[in-house]
Amino acid sequence: MALDPIRLQDEKPPRPAAPGKKWLRVTKAVNGIDTEVWEEVADDTGGPQWGARESMRLVSREVPRVDGPDKVTGRATFSHDVRLPGMVYARVLRSRVPAAKVKLDLEPARKLPGVLAVVELGEGEVRWLGRPIAAVAATTPELAEDGVRAIVVSYEEQGFAVTPEKAAAENAPKVNSRGNVRVLSKNTDTSEIDAALAQAPVRVKGTWKIPVQHHASLESHGVVVDYRGGDEATVYASTQGTFTIPGDAAGRLGLKPNQVTAVVEHMGGGFGSKFGMGIEGEAACLLAKELKRPVHLMLDRSSEFHAAGNRSGGEHEIEAGVGKDGRILAFKARVTRHGGVGQGSGHPLPYIYARDNAVFVEDRCIHTNMDSSRAMRGPGHPQASFSMEGVMDECAYAVGMDLLEFRRINLPEGKRELYMRQLERCAELIGWKAHPHKSAPDRSDAEVKVGIGFAIARWGGGGNGQCKVEVRIAQDGSVEVLSGTQDLGTGTRTYCATIVAEELGLELEAVRARIGRSTFGSANASGGSTTAPSLAPSVKHAAHNARVALFEKVAPLLGATASELEVRPGEIRVAASPSKRIAWKDACAALGPNGLSAQGEWQAHLAGNDIGGAQAAKVSVDTLTGEVKVLEMVAVQDCGLVLNLMAAKSQLQGGMVQALSYGLFEERVVDPDLGLFLNANFEDYKIAGAADIPAMKAVFEDDPRGVIGMSEAAIIPGHSAIANAIHNACGVRLREMPMTADKILMGLAALKKG
């Protein structure tokens, strides 16, 4: 049984482990924010084992997703697809101003034909643009939208600041009572750093600007609340946490959490934004409670942009001092987070490199009258990577050193071998050896130039003990694996079935995975890349226990003991006498009408934690137009046992695509004077499309550890590698994303002027 987690303050556990225990560094979602903690767990290496990789039939192989046919044919049911008898549709009214006292006249909406209920959300005051302030339920979605438009809103507008520049200005309107600019942490003295910087032979200084990025999940936030009065309800939710829903909904419906069933059959992405029900879920519950009818409330795309969270932007002011040998001697930074009404996500600088040298960092946030940021794949890491990897390249060029050699010198000793192995593999795959510009950018007069850049990532991953799994074997030979966990689209169903099929000697199609229902065994929310390392060991444990229980039943039929038996595809046999065998279905027939059921829980020795990862990008830059084309991206990743090689490659490639989009296209745009969100739609908010995706190579290292989540590591370094490749190609260091053609042309013009 795990003890209470301790927030990770440094690289070492807080105290020696108790007898029979060990410390694991794990990542947990705390209030929707991925947080690294130390957790003390049982040091038990007995029981089920993953076994040799080469002996596996299904696990760690390329396995098509079991739910693929349902998704491509439209049979898969997402929350948006749920249709129930008597169901009504709801829409929300958002505040059109960033800060105001609000008075609502709901009667005009209530009088419209087809409108059944209207509820007010909040307490008459808004502090951020787009906050839902009312919700309308009607017999059709169109009538609900009519109802929203009929509500009469009176705004007593107040001063606002929707951009960090406005919020940080003198005499700016107060966003909240804590002040617009807050220092979260900093070193107390800079004298040592300033002295080290002054003595450094080479100094690099710059400011990196990072935009606000939106999650852009294909399925919007929302729920269907099936409450018809009485003492039970079912909530169909697009959520990253099945078990976050019952408690949230119960409070609004006047029920107990055990009277609410959450269902997450399928969901269309979350990326960190879908923990808890949100204001939209609360509104659906209030309407359902009033009407005693099912309520379908899914946000429209504009509401999704305004009110469903984002990845925080920021600004990093950095100065580094470097010795002639390439070693970073001193590092000074001021990190500013832009998290709207929230404080945003951050990761300590320097990121990965130069952590043992003289360092000063001030971490602060600027509040604005915009929606609060939420967790988004690797919170704080992509932002830190962008500035830090840029600093590394600039320092390497300043001392005339090969980019990889400079990184080797400044990597922490305990991780140097891992990262250099990965970087060198990336270099081999991307063609670095034959590249002519290893220690200086291309300064030629060529119109189209090609550059290569590198970047690395780290992530905690790791599992925890929240998952409970059941494996059922029926008399007819059918097998089910049950867990309440959710599948965000990453292949959870598939590896649940794969692990059980592997353990029992069955084909994949012989096992049915049932997930996404709070009446099944408990599970952790999908945050911090913790799902696979939490769930997979629990599935393995349940499957192991089911096999042992089955052997106990079958052994007398073969004249053997349970310890003498083994599974082979489609049969059970005596290991020492293979001719003594029984077919799978015949063995199950001996179980009787009730079959058997086995439980499983987390086994720490089947999981691992703490991963690295390196990526490289090759780009071309047209110096006449400023156009950037990403020609190729490669990634080398460690992540312990790969459960499904096909799905893992997809995750790694998907991370590279998302990073490319972050670096080259995505940016929230707001009007600072009018307080308007100017690109809250998929037409004006640019994201990468099929034509922008380059050739990609995804390589996994041979890693003997247990399962470790890796999908968040996949998103962290790609945009940084692209920025470095642009610099390598043409000499323009872009310190601001998105890295667009106009910025490149201005940079080229500045280079010509010297």
167: in domain: no
Token code pair at residue 38: 């130390």
Q: Does residue 453 sit in the same domain as residue 335?
A: yes
Residues paired with 236 in a beta bridge: 224, 263
Q: Does residue 238 sit in the same domain as residue 268?
A: yes
pTM above 0.75? yes
Token code pair at residue 407: 């990184």
Compute φ and ψ for 270, nearest 5 degrees: -145, -45
Average pLDDT over residues 155-160: 98
- Within 13 Å of residue 649, how many CA atoms lie on the same side as its CB? 13
Q: How many C-beta neighbours within 10 Å does residue 247 have? A: 15
Q: Does residue 589 sit in the same domain as residue 446?
A: no
Q: Does residue 354 sit in the same domain as residue 428?
A: yes
Do 734 and 747 contact (CB within 8 A), yes or no? yes
Task: Give me the pLDDT at residue 41, please.
Answer: 63
CA distances from 437 to 133, 397, 401, 403, 449 (A): 56, 10, 11, 10, 11
- If DSSP codes are grouped into helix, strand and coil, which group holds residue 183? strand
Q: How many C-beta neighbours within 10 Å does residue 345 have? A: 25
538: in domain: yes
Q: Residue 673 carries which side chain, given as an amino acid letter?
A: D
Q: Does residue 132 sit in the same domain as residue 256?
A: yes
Which of 275, 298, 321 is the C-terminal boundary of a domain? Answer: 298
Q: Does residue 247 sit in the same domain as residue 108?
A: yes
Do 558 and 565 contact (CB within 8 A), yes or no? yes
Tens-place pLDDT, residues 604-649: 999 999 999 999 999 999 999 999 999 999 999 999 999 999 999 9
Mean pLDDT, the chain, whole residue set: 94
Q: Does residue 402 sit in the same domain as residue 448?
A: yes
Could you tell me the residue range of the domain that residue 10 belongs to?
6-42
73: in domain: no
Task: Give me the pLDDT at residue 37, please.
Answer: 74
Helices (H), 399-444: 403-410, 413-430
Which of 606, 625, 658 is the C-terminal boundary of a domain? Answer: 606
SS3 content of the chain, % helix, strand, coil (to 5): 30, 25, 40
721: in domain: yes
Number of domains in the chain: 4
Is the confidence at residue 45, as pLDDT, over 60?
no
Q: Does residue 122 sit in the same domain as residue 261?
A: yes
Angle between helices 718-730 and 381-398 (to 10 degrees): 30
Residue 717 DSSP code = S
- If DSSP codes are grouped into helix, strand and coil, which group holds residue 584? helix
Helix (H) or strand (E) holding 671: strand 670-671
184: in domain: no
CA distances from 601 to 95, 604, 642, 705, 707 (A): 46, 10, 20, 19, 15
Q: Does residue 660 sit in the same domain as residue 746?
A: yes
387: in domain: yes
- Within 13 Å of residue 485, how many CA atoms lie on the same side as its CB? 33
Which of 584, 606, 628 is the C-terminal boundary of a domain? Answer: 606
d(C-alpha 457, C-alpha 455), whole Å: 7
Do 539 and 499 contact (CB within 8 A), yes or no? yes
Q: Residue 418 carries which side chain, given as an amino acid letter?
A: L
> Cα–chain-centroid distance for residue 474?
37
CA distances from 39 to 65, 228, 530, 634 (A): 32, 42, 13, 34
Q: Does residue 580 sit in the same domain as residue 615?
A: no
Is the confidence at residue 7, as pLDDT, over 50?
no
185: in domain: no
Tens-place pLDDT, residues 404-456: 999 999 999 999 999 999 999 999 999 999 999 999 999 999 999 999 999 99
Q: Does residue 628 sit in the same domain as residue 580?
A: no
Tens-place pLDDT, residues 163-212: 999 999 999 999 999 999 999 999 888 999 999 999 999 999 999 999 99
CATH number of 318's domain: 3.30.365.10
197: in domain: no
Work out the pLDDT band at 29, boundaries 50, 70, 90: low
CATH number of 96's domain: 3.90.1170.50
Task: Give me the pLDDT at residue 9, please.
Answer: 45
Task: Give the neighbor-by-neighbor strand order of the sheet with 468-473.
Answer: 511-514, 479-482, 468-473, 596-601
Q: Does residue 483 sit in the same domain as residue 412?
A: no
